Amino acid sequence: MAEKIVAPPRLVKRKSSDASSQAQTAQRPPARRRRIPYTRAEIAEIFRRFAVQRPEPKGELEHSNPFTLLVAVVLSAQATDVGVNKATRELFQIADTPRKMAALGEDTIRGHIRTIGLYRNKARNVAALARTLVEQHGGEVPRDRAGLEALPGVGRKTASVVLNSAFGEDTLAVDTHILRLGNRLKLAPGKTPEAVEAGLLKVIPKPYLRHAHHWLILHGRYVCKARKPDCEACVIADLCKADVKTSDVPAPLRELPPSPLPEPTASG
Ligand code: SF4
């Protein structure tokens, strides 16, 4: 019989001062492991198909180096990638390095990004971010999580995207699409992005981790959509265990463009 994947047991917190509670906890049977309804082979097959569709998937935020990617990701919180790209095309033409961005200053940055939600805060963060990179990192984007997360406006998710897309690390940034897919498909059920991230990192086969982030985002954005999943267009419909699925027949497997967004034209 094929081996089932199991999620890690939940840790039981114990109060060190409560001896009887400790004794009871010690006698309790081990916490039951939560099963996910896929075999290892099924999960490998899901990601093999994503890899056939997009062997080298690309994110949809336009950038030319680790710094412009970092800025674009900071700007993308509560904004669409299309909206961010529109604002950054001009900004990155005049400031594609921390030094140039720091020289631009907060007011000018704000003028360029005012079409994006929360632009005042974001302009402040981008200006501070650029200054910090110049003053503390020699104008380079740090390649480690601690260095990235210490930068203004940069949290775990942003750091994961940069580590993955700019530096080729096997990180997985859980956005709204991946949070939904982890739960809907029952691949990595969890209430928080951190829980879903931990679950996915555990079950996705190592060779597929590098691109899993982009595959899942693109699948969630264009096929397994929030309101109405397009199961007839889904290449994993036969494997999917989602309660909401409406088809068991997988869509034909063929290679697709690395990113569904059209390349920008000269006029933007
Ligand atoms: S079959 Fe439907 S619910 Fe399952 S992954 Fe595909 S689109 Fe989503």
Q: What is the pLDDT of residues 122-164, one digit of tens each?
A: 999 999 999 999 999 999 999 999 999 999 999 999 999 999 9
Q: Which homologous superfamily is 66-165 in?
A: Hypothetical protein; domain 2 (1.10.340.30)
pLDDT over threshold 90, residue 2:
no
Atom 1, ligand 1: residue with shortest CA distance: 237
Question: Which residue of the set 13, 58, 81, 175 is catalytic?
Answer: 175
Determine whether the shortest distance from the Cβ of 46 to ligand 1 is under 6 A.
Answer: no
User: Who contacts 146 (Cβ-Cβ below 8 Å, separation ≥6)?
Assistant: none
How far is the first Cα of the chain from the last one, in angstroms, to the nearest whole number?
A: 55
pLDDT over threshold 70, residue 9:
no
Give the pLDDT band (50/70/90) at residue 262: low
Respond yes or no: is residue 58 known to be catalytic: no
Atom 3, ligand 1: residue with shortest CA distance: 245
Give the pLDDT band (50/70/90) at residue 261: low
Determine whether the shortest distance from the Cβ of 123 to ligand 1 is under 6 A.
Answer: no
**Would you kindly state where each structural domain of the chain is located, as residue ranges?**
40-57+171-233, 66-165
Determine whether the shortest distance from the Cβ of 224 to ligand 1 is under 6 A.
Answer: yes
- pTM across the whole model: 0.82
In whole numbers, what is the pLDDT of the chain averaged over residues? Answer: 88
- Distance from Cα 226 to the centre of ligand 1, integer Å: 11
The CATH number for 40-57+171-233, chosen from 1.10.1670.10, 1.40.20.10, 2.60.40.680, 2.130.10.10, is: 1.10.1670.10
According to DSSP H, which parts of the chain are helical?
19-27, 40-53, 66-75, 81-94, 98-104, 106-112, 119-137, 145-149, 156-165, 176-184, 193-203, 206-222
- Distance from Cα 108 to the centre of ligand 1, integer Å: 44
**Cα separation, 188 vs 30, whole angstroms:** 21
**Cα separation, 233 vs 263, whole angstroms:** 23
Ligand 1 atom with the shortest distance to the CA of 246:
2
Question: Which residue of the set 13, 157, 206, 241 is catalytic?
Answer: 157
pLDDT (tens digit per residue) in 199-243: 999 999 999 999 999 999 999 999 999 999 999 999 999 999 999
**Cα separation, 202 vs 136, whole angstroms:** 35
Respond yes or no: is residue 170 known to be catalytic: no
